[in-house]
Amino acid sequence: MKPELKTFINVAKAISKLLHPFAEVVIHDLSKNKIVAIFNPISKREIGDISYLDHIDLDAYDDFVIGPYYKINYDGRKMKCIITVIKDSIDNLIGTLCINLDVSVFDRYQNLINAFLNNNDMQISQQQQSLFRDTFYEKINSFVQKYCLDNNLTLDNLTRDQKKI
């Protein structure tokens, strides 16, 4: 492995440990079009496998970071991915560090939360629903919530003096 790529091994390990079990971190050697290091291989790829990065023109990007972008894992899970370009001392592209984050579990939670928060009783008319909106208590709650957001506070952490405002 090229020395410039070796310097990224500990970074890749740290990222994979921090985001385990959701993130796969891969280091690719572009000259060989091969994976030279992989941590938490949720894609089932291994060291020595083909990188499949030859279809991406990395020179076309002005930035060292490409993404984030989405792709689908072999098992159908949605992945949020990002590529960091690795260059040598004379500015040649030699590799990439890729982070592939499994966001499918977060999508499931978001769908669950959306289902819970949606108004499931479509039979209630708009007029009936408006009975519960813009009440005096709701206006107070909205004001307090805005105050907390504007001042980077939570309701639980308000001091006695802040509650009097």
Mean pLDDT by 10 residues, the chain (165 residues): 92 98 97 96 95 77 86 92 94 94 91 80 59 68 82 79 73
Q: Compute the distance between CA of residue 13 and CA of residue 24 in angstroms, rounded to an integer.
A: 10
Domain 3-106 falls in which CATH fold?
Answer: Beta-Lactamase (3.30.450)
Query: What's the pTM?
Result: 0.69
Determine the residue type at 39.
F
Q: Which ranges of 100-153 does DSSP label H, i.e. alpha helix?
A: 104-117, 126-130, 136-150
Q: Compute the distance between CA of residue 107 and CA of residue 105 in angstroms, rounded to an integer.
A: 5
CB atoms within 10 A of CB 81: 19
**Dihedral sign from CA coordinates of 104, 110, 116, 119:** negative
pLDDT for res 101: 97
pLDDT for res 14: 98
118-144 pLDDT per residue, tens: 766 665 665 565 555 667 777 777 788
User: Would you call 87 helix, strand, or coil by DSSP?
Assistant: strand
Q: How far is CA 144 from CA 131, 134, 157, in A?
A: 21, 14, 12
């159908």: which residue's tokens?
A: 76
Q: Compute the distance between CA of residue 24 and CA of residue 101 in angstroms, rounded to an integer.
A: 6
Domain boundaries defined on the chain: 3-106, 123-164
CB atoms within 10 A of CB 37: 19
